[in-house]
Amino acid sequence: MTKYSIIAQVIVALSIVYVWIFRFDNIVKEFSQYGLSDLTRSIVGSAKIALSTLLVVGIWYLNLVLIPALLIAFLMLSAQYFHFKVSNPWQKHIPSLLLLTLCFFIAAVSLKLI
């Protein structure tokens, strides 16, 4: 692991925790706008918090990094899909796009591709 990968892991984890805990009212509005159920929102939120925790634990246990990074990347790709589906402005796309990019970077470092 490089120090840049560790920094990326912490940024992704803290960003997800911040949004899903401290900006939850915004999450409720967005999932409603996307036509997704409360159950779906709860599953996605729980998954993101758990995967973020694994990214942080992966700082010390390197074998825990790849799968959470790829799963979070999938969730961020899904977020991009829903932003496009409801024609959100580009400003709404940027956070999930940034986290998607960071997750791909983390996965690539984990696979020793970079």
Please tell me the number of Cα atoms within 13 Å of 87 on its side-chain side: 0
Q: Output the pLDDT for position 66.
A: 98
Q: Residue 15 in contact with residue 51, Cβ under 8 Å?
A: no
Q: Output the pLDDT for position 4.
A: 97
Q: Output the pLDDT for position 27.
A: 96
Q: Output the pLDDT for position 82.
A: 97
Q: Which long-range contacts (CB under 8 A, 24 or more apart) does 76-79 make?
A: 76/100, 76/103
pTM higher than 0.85: yes
Q: Output the pLDDT for position 48.
A: 98
Q: Which residues of the chain have pLDDT under 50?
A: none
Q: Output the pLDDT for position 69.
A: 98
Q: How many CB atoms lie within 10 A of CB 112?
A: 6
Q: Residue 49 in contact with residue 17, Cβ under 8 Å?
A: yes
